[in-house]
Amino acid sequence: MENLNLIDYFSEFKELKNINREILIKVLEDVFKSMLEKQFEDADNYDIIINPDKGDFEIWRNREVVADEDFSDPNTEISLTAAKKIDDDYEVGEEVTDEVKLESFGRRAILALRQNLSSKILELEKDNIYSKYKDRIGQIVTGEVYQVWKREILIIDDEGNELILPKNEQIPSDYFRKGDSVRAVVIRVDMRNGSPLIVLSRTSSVFLERLFELEVPEIFDGLITIKKIVRMPGDRAKVAVESYDERIDPVGACVGMKGSRIHGIVRELHNENIDVINYTNNISLYISRALSPARINRIEVDEKAKKSEIYLDPDQVSKAIGKNGLNIKLAIQLTEYDIDVYRDLNEEDEDDVKLEEFSDEIEAWIIEQFKAVGLDTAKSVLALSIEELEKRTDLEEETIGDVLQVLKEEFE
């Protein structure tokens, strides 16, 4: 009965289509050899024939024919009298091959064999999953939500493999329930306690890059190159693209007719605002494009220090800075240049005062906080409420109140 159970169990291995045939056969042979060595100490005279496609196996023993008086080892030798019972033509020195039935090893050996076999196959499957996903790092995978926890989500792929989407790799507005379909990019594959740990991300810039490859054929075909992507997941992203074919408009190709191509990406990212800009080696022009939608009057660039100063009309400052300073932060990351924003003062603003002139009354680090968000004059600071200034800077309400008091006294 144990023999039949093992045969049934073994036949299941033919379903392991995703495991290399040669590796599978080698593992199975090693398991059977191990059992034979425990039984007879030496298993070199045994041949194991395995057919994983049919799910069966055979064990054959090779023994040398010896004279009856020289017979001593029944594992490697067979007496001439016993050999002639099998075939009358056998002579001393010839080799006799006969099949060994599994039940002859006993119930305990068969149970141990089955346990060892199960352990080896499980290990083989884990190694196969690890190798498969190690090669898929940076690629998009699709799975179904199986369980939602506080810190991560368990996702099952179409082959039943477990994938993990941590909370910090989810877009803030992501909300998943059991059974939902999820797309994400593989960012890391590790072995933890002998099992593969496959980590996904929806916040990675690589995820956005792969989405563009799926939606824009010119990117997939290499006609358009993505030079760099910077993101604040769920809020805003900037994508610099370039084409070496003058006939192709890289920005237009990425956006599509009436936004048809980019809309699918925006929906996948829960309305993340995506700015696609044309890459250029002209750093002044590149910075100007990176600060879109603000209109820049002029730019001064220090290429050695990787710094730039931009000047724009007062009504364009808020566009350049963006909500919570997001636009300028992403522009700095995209261009890898420090960007300082300054207002171009018109005649009506000639009585305005630069914040640096208040350095005796306001600490320098506080002035820098205001300048970092484009507020470099007294009137530009006074034009905003305390609540708005709190949002734009990292300053406390009390500190902002003190600054406003100093600036108001100047004009009074």
Average pLDDT (28-47) is 77
pLDDT for position 206? 95
**Rounded to whole angstroms, how far apart are CA atoms 130 and 190?**
8
* Model confidence band, residue 4 (pLDDT cutoffs 50, 70, 90): very low
**Rounded to whole angstroms, how far apart are CA atoms 20 and 69?**
49
pLDDT for position 236? 93
pLDDT for position 18? 58
pTM: 0.68
Angle between helices 314-321 and 326-335 (to 10 degrees): 70
pLDDT for position 243? 92
Average pLDDT (204-231) is 94
pLDDT for position 334? 95
Average pLDDT (108-124) is 76
Does residue 104 register a pLDDT over 90?
Answer: no
Query: Tokens for 182?
Result: 């999820």
End-to-end CA distance of the chain: 102
pLDDT for position 368? 85
pLDDT for position 5? 47
Contacts of 199 (CB under 8 A, 6+ apart): 163, 164, 165, 166, 169, 186, 187, 188, 189, 190
Q: For residue 87, what is the enclosing H or E element?
A: none
* Model confidence band, residue 1 (pLDDT cutoffs 50, 70, 90): very low
**Rounded to whole angstroms, how far apart are CA atoms 334 and 402?**
35
**Rounded to whole angstroms, how far apart are CA atoms 165 and 175?**
12
pLDDT for position 377? 83
Contact of 367 with 380, CB cutoff 8 Å: no
- The better pLDDT of the pair 159, 344 is held by 159
**Rounded to whole angstroms, how far apart are CA atoms 276 and 278?**
7
pLDDT for position 26? 76
Query: DSSP secondary-structure letter at 351?
Result: T
- Three-state SS for 167? helix
Query: Tokens for 244?
Result: 């070496």
* Model confidence band, residue 2 (pLDDT cutoffs 50, 70, 90): very low
Query: DSSP secondary-structure letter at 337?
Result: S
14-18, 286-290, 291-295: the lowest-pLDDT one:
14-18
Q: Token pair 């996903």 is at which residue?
A: 133
Average pLDDT (113-127) is 78
pLDDT for position 8? 52
Q: Assign residue 55 a region: left if phi > 0, alpha if psi is -120 to 50, beta otherwise? A: left
Report the 10 Å Cβ neighbour count for 351: 10
- The better pLDDT of the pair 35, 381 is held by 381
Q: What is the pLDDT of residues 183-193, one digit of tens each?
A: 999 999 998 88
Report the 10 Å Cβ neighbour count for 135: 11
- The better pLDDT of the pair 390, 1 is held by 390
Q: What is the pLDDT of residues 371-394, one digit of tens each?
A: 877 788 888 888 888 888 888 887
B/e letters for 102-129, b = 16+ CB within 10 Å, e = fewer, are beebeeebbeebbeebeebbeebeeebb
